Amino acid sequence: MTSGDTCQDLVESVTAYLEGVMTEAERRVFEAHIEACPPCEVYLEQIRVTISEAGGLAREGVPTDLCNDLVAAFREWHRGKLSA
């Protein structure tokens, strides 16, 4: 498998992307996926909004529970979109 090019990889690496801790290569793969996959683009935007409403990632990161909930919700939603 090519790392970073599936929706699951994207979901799992979205916080790294938003924190700016990805390598250049990782970021390119991530952004290429976002451009090719509208649901993931929406997901990224939702995470961005969630983080900004929560006061940012800078000090404490995304609470694990919140992150897991979002990932689970997104997976279901994405699966629904793909099979629709």
Interface with Zn ion (CB under 5 A): 7, 37, 40
3-class state of residue 29 by DSSP: helix
Q: Which is nearer to Zn ion, 36 or 54 (CB)?
A: 36
Place of tokens 């090719």: 36
- Give min distance, CB of 34 to Zn ion, in A: 8
Q: Nearest to residue 48, comparing CAs of 73, 74, 19?
A: 19
Q: Which is nearer to Zn ion, 8 or 54 (CB)?
A: 8
- Give min distance, CB of 54 to Zn ion, in A: 23
Contact 29, 18 (CB under 8 A): no
Amino acid at residue number 84: A
- Give min distance, CB of 81 to Zn ion, in A: 10
